[in-house]
A and B are shown apart, each in its own frame.
Chain A
């Protein structure tokens, strides 16, 4: 059982839709992450939140908008996405963003843009 829960597991949306991905953890972790993984490629970091504040944005297009409403929740708001944004979106968490502690991943949301 993964301790990082992502919903929905699958999402199909048109290029004009607005949708949100949700990530939740109850391990008391204070750092949370969004990654994007294309088929047969490694995960690529998108955003890092530390103590509910955005600390890293890896030059992600503004059609992706992260939000961390509290220490347990992380959202990724999607708007006007392109077909090339179809991918597996992974959320991860770790106790903090500076010590030698591993990140724990959810099972991801598989996103398809029509």
Chain B
């Protein structure tokens, strides 16, 4: 039972353009969502998060959108840079009073010069 899904295993974007990564979830009780970036041989690095009471959060080039009715969130990166090439994981916090994160399968983003 995969509660958090990233249906695109990979995405290729031109440098300077917008990258849009998508994530769907099934549990309507999830209350906190996060995006992590992972380079090879490193641990996941926190990028941006959003609480379920909001529908948008921005931090520099990164914006996360949450559509609760569709159980969908997306990460927008603009403009995309070569250093953004990595695997991106979305994660959702399970509603059990503790920080139990459920991760999606990840999307490998490649930024082409």
- A residues bordering B, Cβ < 8 Å? 2, 4, 6, 31, 33, 41-45, 48, 50, 55-56, 90, 92, 94, 96-98, 100, 102-108
- B residues bordering A, Cβ < 8 Å? 32, 34, 36, 41-46, 49, 51, 89, 97-101, 103-106
Contacts of A106 in B (CB 8 A): 43
On whether the beta carbons of A102 and B43 are closer than 8 Å, the reply is no
CA distance A94 to B34 in the complex (A): 13
Contacts of A102 in B (CB 8 A): 34, 46, 49
On whether the beta carbons of B44 and A100 are closer than 8 Å, the reply is no
CA distance A33 to B94 in the complex (A): 15
On whether the beta carbons of A90 and B98 are closer than 8 Å, the reply is no
CA distance A31 to B100 in the complex (A): 11
Given contacts A42-B106, A108-B43, contact A100 B49 (CB under 8 A): yes
Contacts of B105 in A (CB 8 A): 41-42
Closest-CB distance, A104 to chain B (whole angstroms): 6
On whether the beta carbons of A48 and B99 are closer than 8 Å, the reply is yes
Contacts of B44 in A (CB 8 A): 43, 90, 105
Closest-CB distance, B68 to chain A (whole angstroms): 16
Given contacts A42-B104, A42-B106, contact A98 B99 (CB under 8 A): yes
Closest-CB distance, A44 to chain B (whole angstroms): 8
Contacts of B45 in A (CB 8 A): 105
On whether the beta carbons of B98 and A50 are closer than 8 Å, the reply is yes
CA distance A92 to B45 in the complex (A): 11
Most chain-B Cβ atoms within 10 A of its Cβ — which of A33, A44, A100? Answer: A100
CA distance A92 to B44 in the complex (A): 9
Most chain-B Cβ atoms within 10 A of its Cβ — which of A6, A44, A102? Answer: A102
Contacts of B41 in A (CB 8 A): 107
CA distance A108 to B42 in the complex (A): 7
Contacts of A105 in B (CB 8 A): 36, 43-46
CA distance A100 to B41 in the complex (A): 27
CA distance A45 to B103 in the complex (A): 9
On whether the beta carbons of B103 and A42 are closer than 8 Å, the reply is yes
On whether the beta carbons of A56 and B51 are closer than 8 Å, the reply is no
On whether the beta carbons of B98 and A4 are closer than 8 Å, the reply is no
